[in-house]
Every structure is written in C-alpha cells, then in structure tokens.
C-alpha cells in the first residue's frame, strides 16, 4: 500500500504548480526538483498572481543583486551617507532588505519567509546575512542571482545591531511628530530629528518596542520609500501583521486567495535544502518511513530544560490516544494467526533533543500488542541533547528533521515551538498542537487540532493601523486570529 515516492506526472508538478522555474542546474541542488517525488500532492497550489510576482521578483534580484552595477553603486552610497531624500527615490534604483536572522533554525526559517514576502510586497531585493547557517544549508532560491550578502558589505557586525542604534526605525517614527503617537520618551530622545541615516534598521525582536512595531503599519510611502537600505532583525513569523496593514491588503488577497497556506507556499518557493541535507532527508525517509501504510510525526520541544519530564510523556500519550493518532495496547498476546499480507504498519517519526520520550513510546509498542493489530514502529533521527544553533552539522540535522516531519501524514507538535511550526507548515499539515505545560503538569486537554497549518506570530502588534489606536488585533479581520498555543499570538487561518 505504499505510495512513496510518486513520480510527478508532469513538469508542472515537478515545478510545484509554477512556484519554481526550470533551468537551475539540477545536480547542484537535488531537492529543488526532486521534492515533488517525495510528496503526495501539493497541499495548496500557487495562484497565477503569485507565480507572476515571483517571476518579477526574480528579475529584480537579478537586476539588483550582488555582482551587479546597481548593487555596487548602492553599497558605495551606503559607505557615504543617505540624506533622507534623493538617492533611491526614482523608481528604477534598487532598494534592499537585508535580513539578519538569529536564534534557532526554526526562528530563522520563519524570519526568512516573512522577510521574503515583505521584500516582494515592497519591491526590495532580499539579501541574507551569512553569519548564521542558512547560507550553508539552503540552496540559492533565485535563478541567476545570489541572495547572500557579500562579505564586503559596509555595515559590520550585523548580528549586534539592536533597536537602540541611531538608525533605528523607532527613532524615525518618534521624530516624525504626527501620525504615530509619540510618547514622552520621543521628546527626550537624543536622536536629532533629521539626522543623516545610511540605512534604516528595523528591530522586530520579540523584545522590540511599541514604536518598532509601528513598522507593521508603515505603508512604505511615508518613512521607508526612499530608504535604499532596510536592515531587519527578526526571529519570527510576521506575515500575519502584514495582512493587517491596509496598504498590502489588495495585493495579498490576489497573491493568496486562500490565507491558510502562505508559509507553505513561500517555504516551498524559497527553501531548498542543500544536497548534504537532502541526503539526510531522503535516506531516512527511504529507510524508515516510505514503506509504512501510515506515518505519524511527533515533535517534542521542551522549554523547561533538557531533562526528561514524566508529565511531557504523559501529555504525548494522552494526546495521541485521545485523538486516536496511535492505537491502544492490550495486555494479552493476540491469539489469532498473523494476517496474510502482514499487519498494517504505522511508522512514528519522533523528533526531540532527548531520546527518552522516544525510548518510552517505542518500548510501549514493543512490550505490548496493539488493540488494532497494527504494527507500530518508532524512529528518531537524532538526539542532540542540547541546542547548538549555528553549528552547521547540528543545524543540518534540525532542518532534515523539520523536513521529515513534513513528510508524514499527520503531525503532533509542541506549542510555542517554531521548529514544530516549520515541520507542519512545510508538510502542508494542520497539526495537533500540544499546549505548553504549566507547573510541571500535563494540561487538559493535552492537545488540540489547530485551525490551520500556518505558524503563529509570537510578538504581534496590538495596534490597529486603520483606526490608529490600540486594538485586539486578533479581531480585526476574519483570517487573522489568535493562536491555539499562545493566546496573544496571531496566525492566519
């Protein structure tokens, strides 16, 4: 009953419904054109408008990317000073968004997808700071143009920029006087109103301020239009906030007629694991998952420390039992003879830093027979014990595991975890989310089916761009709602 891998029946399928362009060297990045062989079907198809805009954006990256005259000129201007007008204001000049991703790989991936959408919406070329590992574990997404920020980029130490730097968007907004409400802090700000900025830095760290978050209401006309260089630090998924900005509404509607698979489509366009990672993915899949009748992913992320916790194991078992994702076990050995074609098989892919949960689940189904007669096999690719983000081999395993989670049929994830968001989002799978335990007790209910496969935005704005006042941003439009796992978070549904 195995259906993996499927041979895509048409070029269109191999190119993921037009998301991808042909013409890349296939061998240098096998995952790009081979991923369709490992997927049943696209969970959502790209709209014709999205496909058109992606092609336009590729042309922009080619026109403006590293190695072009436009890039050289823009980088040289950055070395001097931008006076706030003039440079970059004519439509043909290139404008840039430099993304500085940080924290864990799941965070990085969500940041990359969000920044890419913002770059498409605002006509900026996206360049990626290469201090962290994404440049080593993903292929180049744009044909004929690199998305890696050249090492000669004049602004140094990008990883150390914070919202406190004079170039910060927060001071730009505070200095404006009208439109954005300026609290007392703005008046006392040491930053002169019309200082010479070489670039604008947008801090979207989860600790960013009210003024930083006004970025989400910026229509690009007012503050950012003329800034050729926008540098951005973010560790999360900010796409839901873009859907709250009236300036982008029409375009986003055309790009994504269905709002529940924005990350899925962006990730499949942008993120292609390098050959080494693809080897980790396909070999594990072929060895342990491919031949099962059904695959279940269980992603375990514990935020209270790396030691094993009984209440987390209890939560996993309660969730998979109550939601009928795994069969119950019986105490007696079954008396009936084995089925002719062999038992129905269920492969469970578990991921986590610890192997303790995996050992326990595996023992459960080794020690006892299932009530359904199914044969349950349990697998875990790695147990790294501790988070070591930034180390290439560690991050390669993390990416391989997120990707493998996305190759299952059903998935249980840990609330609050961007690792889990990426796993389910990549797979086009609406997860069962385990709520984050409090006081070391398994919550009741242990988990709940999410409303969509979209990631949760953890640090959303609480400001209504239209009304220009504070608001419950989970109530402004039907397709942006609060998350299942984080009551103040926002997600697309």
Binding region for ligand GDP (CB under 6 A): 103-107, 301, 351-353, 382, 384, 387, 389, 394, 397-398, 401, 417-419
Min CB(334)–ligand GDP separation in Å: 33
Angle between helices 105-122 and 262-270 (to 10 degrees): 90
- Kindly tell me which of 33 and 435 has the beta carbon lying closer to ligand GDP: 435
Looking at the DSSP bridge assignments, the partners of residue 490 are 457, 482
Q: Using an 8 Å Cβ cutoff, are 433 and 467 in contact?
A: no
Instruction: Evaluate the CA torsion angle 430, 245, 100, 136 in order and state its sign.
Output: positive
360: burial class by Cβ within 10 Å (0-12, 13-18, 19+)? middle
- Kindly tell me which of 108 and 122 has the beta carbon lying closer to ligand GDP: 108
Min CB(266)–ligand GDP separation in Å: 17
Distance CA 145, CA 150 (A): 12
How far from chain centre, in Å, is Cα 325? Answer: 25
Q: What is the DSSP string of 39-60?
A: -SS-SSPPPHHHHHHHHHHHHH
- Kindly tell me which of 245 and 382 has the beta carbon lying closer to ligand GDP: 382
Q: Return the DSSP state at 88.
A: T
Which residue matches tokens 């007392």? 184
- Kindly tell me which of 74 and 422 has the beta carbon lying closer to ligand GDP: 422
Min CB(390)–ligand GDP separation in Å: 9
Min CB(258)–ligand GDP separation in Å: 26
Min CB(423)–ligand GDP separation in Å: 9
Min CB(135)–ligand GDP separation in Å: 16
11: burial class by Cβ within 10 Å (0-12, 13-18, 19+)? exposed
Q: Using an 8 Å Cβ cutoff, are 155 and 197 in contact?
A: no
Q: Which residue is nearest to ligand GDP (CB)?
A: 104
Other CB atoms within a 10 A radius of the CB of residue 353 amount to 18
Min CB(414)–ligand GDP separation in Å: 7
- Kindly tell me which of 125 and 402 has the beta carbon lying closer to ligand GDP: 402
- Taking alpha carbons only, the member of 294, 273, 259, 296 closest to residue 44 is 259
Distance CA 429, CA 454 (A): 9
Min CB(320)–ligand GDP separation in Å: 17
Angle between helices 392-405 and 275-284 (to 10 degrees): 50
Distance CA 462, CA 241 (A): 10
Min CB(417)–ligand GDP separation in Å: 3
The residues near 396 (Cβ < 8 Å, ≥ 6 apart) are 137, 276, 277, 280
Min CB(205)–ligand GDP separation in Å: 14
Distance CA 110, CA 239 (A): 9
- Kindly tell me which of 419 and 432 has the beta carbon lying closer to ligand GDP: 419
- Kindly tell me which of 153 and 432 has the beta carbon lying closer to ligand GDP: 432
- Kindly tell me which of 50 and 302 has the beta carbon lying closer to ligand GDP: 302
- Kindly tell me which of 106 and 228 has the beta carbon lying closer to ligand GDP: 106
Min CB(62)–ligand GDP separation in Å: 31
- Kindly tell me which of 65 and 134 has the beta carbon lying closer to ligand GDP: 134
- Kindly tell me which of 199 and 419 has the beta carbon lying closer to ligand GDP: 419
Q: Return the DSSP state at 139.
A: -
C-alpha distances in angstroms, 379 versus 39, 148, 299, 358, 431? 20, 35, 12, 7, 19
């Amino acid at each position: 009953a195995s259906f993996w891998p499927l041979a895509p029946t048409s070029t269109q399928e191999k190119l993921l419904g037009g998301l991808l362009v042909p013409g890349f060297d296939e061998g240098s990045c096998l995952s790009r054109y081979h991923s369709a062989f490992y997927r049943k079907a696209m969970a959502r198809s790209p709209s014709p408008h999205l496909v058109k805009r992606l092609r336009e954006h590729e042309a922009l990256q080619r026109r403006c990317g590293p190695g072009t005259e436009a890039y050289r000129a823009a980088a040289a201007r950055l070395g001097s000073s931008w006076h706030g007008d003039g440079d970059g204001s004519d439509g043909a000049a290139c404008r840039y968004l430099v993304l500085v991703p940080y924290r864990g790989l799941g965070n990085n991936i969500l940041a990359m997808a969000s920044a890419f959408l913002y770059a498409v919406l605002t006509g900026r070329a996206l360049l990626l700071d290469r201090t962290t590992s994404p440049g080593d574990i993903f292929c180049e997404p744009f044909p004929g143009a690199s998305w890696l920020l050249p090492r000669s980029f004049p602004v140094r130490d990008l990883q150390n920029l914070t919202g406190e730097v004079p170039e910060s968007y927060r001071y730009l907004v505070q200095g404006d006087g009208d439109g954005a409400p300026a609290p007392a802090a703005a008046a006392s700000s040491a930053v002169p109103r019309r200082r010479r900025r070489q670039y604008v830095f947008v801090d979207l760290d989860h600790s960013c301020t009210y003024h930083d978050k006004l970025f989400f209401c910026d229509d690009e006309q007012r503050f950012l239009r003329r800034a050729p260089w926008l540098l951005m630090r973010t560790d999360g998924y900010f796409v839901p906030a873009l859907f709250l900005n009236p300036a982008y509404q029409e375009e986003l509607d055309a790009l994504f007629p269905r709002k529940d698979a924005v990350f899925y489509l962006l990730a499949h366009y942008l993120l292609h694991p390098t050959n080494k990672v693809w080897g980790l993915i396909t070999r594990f899949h072929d060895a342990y998952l491919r031949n099962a009748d059904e695959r279940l992913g269980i992603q375990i992320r514990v935020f209270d420390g790396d030691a094993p916790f009984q209440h987390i194991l209890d939560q996993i078992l309660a969730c998979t039992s109550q939601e009928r994702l795994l069969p119950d076990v019986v105490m007696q050995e079954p008396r009936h003879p084995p089925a002719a074609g062999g038992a129905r098989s269920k492969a469970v892919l578990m991921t986590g830093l610890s192997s303790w949960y995996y050992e326990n689940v595996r023992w459960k189904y080794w020690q006892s027979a299932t009530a359904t007669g199914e044969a349950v096999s349990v697998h875990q690719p790695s147990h790294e014990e501790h988070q070591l983000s930034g180390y290439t081999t560690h991050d390669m395993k993390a990416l391989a595991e997120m990707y493998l989670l996305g190759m299952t049929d059903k998935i249980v994830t840990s609330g609050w975890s961007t690792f889990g968001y990426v796993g389910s989002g990549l797979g086009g799978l609406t997860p069962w989310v385990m709520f984050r335990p409090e006081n070391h007790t398994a919550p009741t209910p242990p988990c709940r089916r999410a409303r969509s496969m979209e990631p949760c935005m953890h640090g959303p704005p609480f400001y209504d761009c239209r009304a220009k006042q504070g608001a419950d941003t989970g109530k402004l439009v039907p397709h942006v709602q609060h998350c299942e796992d984080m009551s103040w978070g926002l997600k697309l549904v």
